[in-house]
Structure 1
Amino acid sequence: MGGLRRLTASFVVSGPCGVAVRDRLKHLTPQDERVLRAVGAHQGTLASRDLKTRCADGLEHSGDTWAARKRDLTGVSSSRIAGAITKATHDQWALARRCQAAHIQKLEAGIKTLRHRLSLPLGEKGTKRAAGGYRSKNEWFRKSRRLGPLEARHAAAVADWQAGRVRVVRGGKRLLSTRHHLTEARLTEDQWRERWEAERWFIAADGESGKRFGNEMIRVTPDGEVSIKLPAPLAHLANARHGRYTLTSTVAFAHRGAEWADRITVNRAVAYRIHLDTERDRWYLTASWQRPAVQTIPLETARARGMIGVDTNADHFAAYHLDQRGNPIGGPHRFGYDLSGTTTHRDAQIRHALTRLINWAVRAGVAAIGIEDLDFTPEKTREKHGRRKRFRQLISGMPTGKLKARLVSMAAEQGLSVVAVDPAYTSLWGAQHWQKPLTTPHRKMSRHDAAGIAIGRRALGYPVRRRTAPPPHDRSDRAGHRTAQAGPGDRGREGTRPPTTDRPPGGPSPSGKRKREPSASETVWDAPSAQQWVHDSLMHTG
């Protein structure tokens, strides 16, 4: 194999299990805004207090402590609000634990790399799998001093993990740090304070099947009327029966509105969240619900109508259309995006590029899109690519987690499946076997376009490499067309030509040697795997 690692088998990614839609609350009166701010501040205080208690419990948390916290919150709100707050607290604590585990793994990777490089002689070259030695004594000395602080941070993180201690900032650590850099953020203290308070509000309610319109706390009628069940201390602000406040604004979900209406008509659970965008001074209502788990289609069905192979890059998607036998059709397609600027701008760029990619796939008539199962976690460590700052920024800037989630969700709306493949050697073998043969005066092929072909062929179950070219006329036999695609069951498709007939079957050649030595194949056969993508809430945090 020459050191090549075994490839994991391709698999069809599971479809989305949840839906979220959003609409703006327009034309709110001053009284509406005062009520929303009062409810958000009151419930936000309760949520902060409950999170503090949960963090103090640590690993001692149990069903009894959960019930005790919920009883304390019920007296100053209601049982449903208490349930929503404690559930959000548990989700936030669990997210903090996953972040803590990821931080420990990152520290361990950095320490391992430092120890390895410090053990090597100065100037020793590295390999693709491991970095080499440091260039100078000065760099070796500085890295040896860095090893101590990393080990201390790792020991402290492990101690916190074992003790069940987590550190959570309601409102976000980044926004908290912005308080000390208002000039760079171009914010006044009042503007920052308004944003900080809005991020710490809590105006949300979990759905309840069987209740009227699927939610008892925040109720939205089919006509779009929004009403809120006020907590007990704010019941005097109600303008409707049973301690409810009805907003003057109405909502109408343009996207998936029919699906939302079907759910609330039969009183199926729908969760709601109301939040304020302080930059635009706009209020929004977000509705979300779960979908029943849909069985993914078999891999053979996904391959039946060909495949779109997609190579993900720092500034564009390189896609190629392949037929059922793995043959490229037409020319390459590129869908560009810009990942600079704010998070909102990057998300919009990714969505626009994915929309164009999916629309093209629908027009091409395929049933699935093949994409690499990328994970740059081991590659982001500073110790492995310390001098290659631009490369580290390039890897860190690619939103692989959000890309996976968005592609699966958007493709499912168009009836397309997503096939994830092992990313090993796709760019290398694609450029080696497909870039030059497909380059013409009227068609320019890049390394990324060739990688798209390699990804598509791997998703279809074919090897990346093409069949070997026939020998010239003056060797062993006559030249024949040998670059056509063969089926995956034809085991001799990349072997040598048939032996000459001037010897008995099974006997040696007249010269005692083979006419042509077999070429070393670079094909690595897929190994079985039960891998699947897991949609982690880490990729959805703001």
Structure 2
Amino acid sequence: MADLRPVAAPFVALGPSGVAVRDRLKGLTPADEKVLRLAGAHLGSLASRDLKARCADGLEHSTGMWAARKKDLTSESSSRWAGAITKATHDQWALSRRCQLAHIQGLEAGLTAIRHRLSQPIGEKGTKKAAGGYRSKNEWFHKARRLHVLEERLERERADREEGVVHVVRGGKRLAGNRHNLDAAQLTEAEWRIRWEAERWFLQADGESGKRFGNETIRVAPDGEVSIKLPAPLAQYANARHGRYVLGAKVRFAHRGTQWADRIEANRAVAYRIHLDVAKDRWYLTASWQIPPSRTIPLDAALADGVIGVDTNADHLAAWRLDTCGNPTGQPRRFSYDLSGSAAHRDAQVRHALSRLLNWAKTCGVKAIAVENLDFRAEKTREKYGRHRTFRQLISGIPTGRLRARLTSMADATGIAIIAVDPAYTSKWGAQHWQKPLSSRTRKTTRHDAASIAIGRRAQGHPIRRRAAPPRDDQSDRRGHRTVQAGPEALGREETRHRIPGPRTRSVQPDAASTRATRTPKTVRDVRSDQVWVQDSLLLTD
């Protein structure tokens, strides 16, 4: 049997390190919207120019170049707007570098898969460990051509990374591509232009601790009044002192409003962003600030009241509660969500499913939820599953990153710990050892429900596999023998038990001497004497 890959130990996930709340800017006057559009367009053009300069610097960038760029922007805006623009530029460049590295790793994985399959005979069947050959000469030919295309693309990406070259589109690459496919995007040129300009506006500013209400550029007072420091070319539109413009709308944060009020009253840093939702024609203000990560509790303390194992799927969360001994209790639960439609709809669906999961956990009195530490970056590649497009779409549809970030953030407010476990063999062993025993005429246990049990048991340190069944009658010692279950400290407890040769197996024949020694004699001795008792012959009578 092939060796199993090592299983990582479970751990308690860290809580969120930041908070973001949003509210709609209601009651804006036409003059307010005009000023916001002018300021956003002007600052957006400066941000585009600064991003171009930063990309041109590449790996040779230094603090002196940063200061020179900030000085050039200050004359056309203000020192604080210049600082916000340059910081956003550096964050964007760093993000592009990380995406570039991920793209290179994806290309390398695809090339490895293609080279392996091209080396196999045509029609060769694959195994669980490695893929087989391509199914036809036509497919082999096209994949050989694609191999050269990917090699050239990988060489170009590696050269760009060594030189520090990144490719960034302010406003989004997808929206830029929609300009050439307006019919497919169901947009007119005017509608596309409005969205394109709105995405390229820049109206965001980081906070400063010690300044009034935590931000001098975009200031929000405790009563909800919003004021903006206008750039120098737009100073004539100011309606307040020191070149500021006060909006007619006021904000009120319903979520975490008390925390936000405490921060601004203490003059602690709060970052703000103003943006326009073109589809709804609504303006929004988002406030965000950093928080110290909450201290994680020990794993044993989190599992003191049991755990809820959660199996993540493309359209639902399968959950089952386990007691402290790792036994499933009650009925399995399913929390469905629909990930079709817009990004806002998908995010709302995930939040609603997680809210129901956390409410159920609080009702059960459980202080820990176990989830798989999933990462499908390697499995999403086109070359790994090839023509199995439906399966690739299924894997891509599982919201692993979004769900993990949302769950840790929402659970931190409820005091429930999130335990991340290794996803190795949870679905396979759960279906093998738990699906059938937990199914009955009135309850249909699915493969996902069984996987949730495996996830919860792994978080608790219990082996996923159940005890071996006792032997049948007239074997061994009549149902009395049962294989002992390994403890959590035993190495390799989740591996397949190796066959041990011995007298109870058919691999080694029993010893003849021991067989004669334990054989029952044909003659019977009397227990009261040492004489041999022999039965007399039967008398034959007429």
1:29-80 CA distances to partner (integer Å, 9 max, x unpaired)? 0000011111101111110000000000001101111111111111111111
Q: 1:268 Cα shift? A: 0.8
Kindly indicate whether the alpha-carbon contact (under 8 Å) linking 2:43 and 2:202 is maintained by their aligned counterparts in 1: yes
Higher RCO, Cα 8 Å, sep 6+:
1
Q: 1:296 Cα shift? A: 1.4
CA distance in 2, matches of 1:493, 1:140: 43
**1:351–1:97 CA distance, 2 compared to 1 (3 A):** same
Which letter maps to 2:275? H
Q: 1:295 Cα shift? A: 2.1
Secondary structure of the 1:123 match is coil
Secondary structure of the 1:42 match is helix
Kindly indicate whether the alpha-carbon contact (under 8 Å) linking 1:207 and 1:270 is maintained by their aligned counterparts in 2: yes
Which letter maps to 2:314? A
Q: 1:428 Cα shift? A: 0.6
More deviation in 295-304 or 383-392? Answer: 295-304
Q: 1:472 Cα shift? A: 3.4
Residue in 2 aligned with 1:528? Answer: none
Secondary structure of the 1:383 match is helix
More deviation in 448-457 or 68-77? Answer: 68-77
Kindly indicate whether the alpha-carbon contact (under 8 Å) linking 1:376 and 1:395 is maintained by their aligned counterparts in 2: yes
1:446-468 CA distances to partner (integer Å, 9 max, x unpaired)? 01100000000001111101122
- Alignment pair present for 1:140 and 2:106: no
Q: 1:489 Cα shift? A: 5.3
Residue in 2 aligned with 1:2? Answer: 2
Q: 1:6 Cα shift? A: 0.9
Residue in 2 aligned with 1:66? Answer: 66
Q: 1:443 Cα shift? A: 1.3
Residue in 1 aligned with 2:409? Answer: 409
User: After the TM superposition, which residues 92-103 of structure 1 pair with which residues of structure 2 at under 5 Å, given as runs?
Assistant: 92-103=92-103
Residue in 2 aligned with 1:527? Answer: none
**1:481–1:18 CA distance, 2 compared to 1 (3 A):** farther
Give the TM-score normalised by structure 2.
Answer: 0.89
Q: 1:482 Cα shift? A: 6.0
Residue in 2 aligned with 1:218? Answer: 218
Q: 1:383 Cα shift? A: 1.3
More deviation in 273-282 or 70-79? Answer: 70-79
Kindly indicate whether the alpha-carbon contact (under 8 Å) linking 1:325 and 1:485 is maintained by their aligned counterparts in 2: no
Q: 1:490 Cα shift? A: 8.0
Residue in 1 aligned with 2:106? Answer: 106
Which letter maps to 1:402? R
**1:510–1:342 CA distance, 2 compared to 1 (3 A):** farther
**1:493–1:383 CA distance, 2 compared to 1 (3 A):** closer
Identity of counterpart residues, as a percentage? 69
CA distance in 2, matches of 1:236, 1:145: 61
**1:155–1:430 CA distance, 2 compared to 1 (3 A):** same
Which letter maps to 2:333? H
Q: For this pair of structures, how many residues does the alignment match?
A: 505
Secondary structure of the 2:320 match is strand
Secondary structure of the 2:382 match is coil
Secondary structure of the 2:57 match is helix
Kindly indicate whether the alpha-carbon contact (under 8 Å) linking 1:325 and 1:487 is maintained by their aligned counterparts in 2: no
User: After the TM superposition, which residues 304-323 of structure 1 pair with which residues of structure 2 at under 5 Å, given as runs?
Assistant: 304-323=304-323
CA distance in 1, matches of 2:493, 2:371: 26
More deviation in 17-26 or 237-246? Answer: 237-246
**1:177–1:340 CA distance, 2 compared to 1 (3 A):** same
Kindly indicate whether the alpha-carbon contact (under 8 Å) linking 2:463 and 2:493 is maintained by their aligned counterparts in 1: no
Residue in 2 aligned with 1:360? Answer: 360
Q: 1:479 Cα shift? A: 3.0
**1:328–1:485 CA distance, 2 compared to 1 (3 A):** farther
Which letter maps to 2:188? T
Q: CA RMSD in A?
A: 2.2
Kindly indicate whether the alpha-carbon contact (under 8 Å) linking 2:471 and 2:481 is maintained by their aligned counterparts in 1: no
Kindly indicate whether the alpha-carbon contact (under 8 Å) linking 2:47 and 2:89 is maintained by their aligned counterparts in 1: yes
CA distance in 1, matches of 2:201, 2:357: 38
CA distance in 2, matches of 1:85, 1:489: 54
Secondary structure of the 1:105 match is helix
CA distance in 1, matches of 2:355, 2:491: 40
More deviation in 264-273 or 123-132? Answer: 123-132
Give the TM-score normalised by structure 1.
Answer: 0.89
CA distance in 1, matches of 2:491, 2:245: 72
Which letter maps to 1:340? S
1:416-453 CA distances to partner (integer Å, 9 max, x unpaired)? 11111111110110011101111111211001100000
